[in-house]
Amino acid sequence: MTREEVYARLNNVFREVLDDDSIELHDETVADDVDGWDSFEHINLIVGVEDEFGFKIPMGKVVTMKNVGEMVDIILEMGK
């Protein structure tokens, strides 16, 4: 899986969970940059990512990821 492929699927997850088709994610994107990405939606996004990619993200990673770039790194690492 390439980084670009992860981004394409991740954009879809975010758009679906947050109900906003204009979302375009980047490595530096943080919760404050995306409308509606609060603590509650954070977990919905994580669950959406888990459903999309087919693996569980460990809780420790859920609380420490600082931006979308780190989320993509985790997905790439877990998907190996």
Partner 1 sequence: MSIVSFGFYILVFGGTILYYCIPQKIQWVELLGLSLIFYFFAAEPYTIIYLVISTLVAYFATITIEKQRNLSNSKSSVTAIITAVAILVNIGLWFILKGGALWQPVVQKCISHGFWTERLATYGTRMVAALGMGYYTLQIIGYIIDCYWANIKPQKNPLKLFLFVAYFPQLTTGPISRYSQLEDIFTGHSFEFRNIKFGAQRILWGLIKKLVWAERIGVIISGINNDFTTYHGFYSWIMILLYPLQMYADFSGCMDIILGVSELFGIKLQENFNNPFFSRTSQEFWQRWHISLGAWAKDYVLYPLLKLKMIVNFGKYARKKFGRKAGKFLVNLIGMFILWMVMGIWHGGWRYIVGVSLWYWLILMMGELFSPVFKKIQVCLKIKTDNFSWHLFQSGRTYLIYAIGATFFCCGIHRAIELFKDVLRVIFVKGYANPWIFFDQSILSLNVTYVDLNHIIVGIVMMLIVAVLREKYGYARIWIEQQGLVFRWLVWIGLFIYILIWGNYGPGFSASEFIYQGF
Stretch that binds partner 1, among 7-15, 22-30, 33-41, 71-79 (CB under 8 A): 33-41
With binding defined as CB under 8 A, does residue 39 bind partner 1? yes
Contacts 24+ apart (CB under 8 A), 23-27: 25/68, 26/68, 26/69, 27/67, 27/68, 27/69, 27/72
Does residue 27 interact with partner 1 by CB under 8 A?
no
Copy the structure tokens of residue 32: 């404050």
Chain-centroid distance, C-alpha 77: 14
Size of the site for partner 1 (CB under 8 A): 15
Q: Among 4, 22, 54, 59, which residue sits at the site for partner 1 (rule: CB under 8 A)?
A: 59
Among 3, 30, 58, 66, binds partner 1 (CB under 8 A): 58
Contact flag: residue 19 with partner 1 (CB under 8 A): yes
Phi, psi of 19 (to 5 degrees): 55, 50
